[in-house]
Amino acid sequence: MMTPQNTLLQARRFRWWEPVLWLLAFVAPFAMPSHALIINEIAIVALFALSLDLILGYTGIVSLGHAAFFGLGGYAAALFAKHVMPDPLVGLAVGIAAATVLGAVASLTVMRGTDLTRLMVTLGVGLVMLELANKLDWLTGGADGLQGVVLGPVLGQFEFDLYGRTAAWYSLTVLLVFFLIARRIVQSPFGATLKAIRDNRLRAMAIGIPVTVKLAQVYTLAAALAGAAGALLTQTTGFASLDLFEFHRSADVMLILVIGGVGWLYGGILGAVGFKLLQDVISSITPQYWTFWIGLFLVVLVLVGRDRLFRPWTWFGAGRKAGAASNSGGH
């Protein structure tokens, strides 16, 4: 029976491979203790990409300044741990709160204008945050970064160890929690309105969706998630630097999302795994010039077509349709 209700419910059901995937992720720090640090990093980047997916993939806003929230969350958590109290979870909450506030303010910038102006102002917000972090050096340490961030044990139980295993589990848990929240959100009526706005803003307006309000809401939400990712990074590395706000962060996360697949929550996670492995391999070959290969990858990706890159058999002949059709599965 394919009633509309059934179809909607089916999208919500967990597929068999989803728990398996998460189980594998959580076993990984056990199985490969020497790779715990990179697993931690992947989890953080995946959360960041998940946050961008909410606005880029589900709402169609191209943002070049997502690092603003990432960095603010990171700095807020690091400063909190340094000056107020070292509890990681409270610090995480502070980071998220700070990024949420900035997101709510910055959401003013995405409501109006075209893609071009939106690109500009999001980029501008990122740069303003970078300048602020750079100039307020009495607070942030300026270009030297903020050092001496020491964190207490998670939940008062699990100490951060040198190998990063606690860090990896901590980040994975936060990622899982936010993933489930994001999954719930994109499958709710709210998520449906977002997709309606993405597909045709004018039509969405015509059927009575308050477009600007929804945009502001999802932008704030995405900012909160990005803040969480930034907080995780500074907490697990014990260090915050201007690098958190740099343009390449915003560009990388967009690339990660595009590698994995836009508008699909697992896209960010798979993209993060792919990107980190790619980065590892390339930078072990040419440490200095790995951006060249990333650039080449981007150019080829766009010229070949995002849908088709990972389906080489569709490159010739009537590939276009086949690629689009098989891409629509698995959402």
Partner 1 sequence: MLTILFDGVAYGMLLFILAVGLAVTMGLMNFINLAHGAFAMAGGYITVLLMQRLNVPFLVCLPLAFLGSALLGGVLERTLYRPLYHKAHLDQVLFSIGLVFMAVASVDYFVGSTQQIMQLPEWLKGRTEIGEGAWMLGMGHYRLFIIAVCAALTVGLQYVLTKTRFGSRLRASVDDQRVAAGMGINVNIVFLSTFAFGSGLAGLGGALGAEVLGLDPSFPLKFMIYFLIVVAVGGTSSITGPLLAALLLGIADVAGKYYIPKLGAFIVYSLMILILIWRPQGLFVRKGGK
Binding site for partner 1 (CB under 8 A): 56, 62, 64, 108-109, 112-117, 119-121, 123-125, 127-128, 131-132, 134-135, 247, 251, 254-255, 258, 262, 288-292, 294-299, 301-303, 306
User: In this complex, which beta carbon is closest to partner 1, that of residue 185 or of residue 298?
Assistant: 298
What's the min distance (Å) between Cβ of 42 and partner 1?
21
Tell me the CA distances in angstroms from 218 to 2, 102, 193, 195, one per residue in order.
30, 13, 11, 11
Rounded least distance, CB 301 to partner 1, Å:
7
Q: Which is nearer to partner 1, 34 or 288 (CB)?
A: 288
Contacts of residue 221, defined as CB under 8 A and 6 or more positions apart, other chains included, come to 54, 103, 185
Closest C-alpha among 229, 301, 295 to residue 268: 229
Please say which residue, 29 or 60, places its beta carbon nearer to partner 1: 60
| DSSP secondary structure letter of residue 240 | B
Nearer to partner 1, 87 or 307 (CB): 307
Alpha-carbon distance of 293 to 255, in angstroms, equals 13
By C-beta, is 134 or 187 nearer to partner 1? 134
For the bound state, the minimum distance from the C-beta of residue 29 to partner 1, rounded and expressed in Å, comes to 32
DSSP letter at 264? -
Kindly report the number of other CB atoms within 10 A of residue 316's CB atom: 7
Shortest distance, position 289 Cβ to partner 1, whole Å: 5
CB of 49 to partner 1, least distance (A): 14
φ/ψ bin of 60: left (φ > 0), alpha (ψ from -120 to 50), beta (otherwise): left
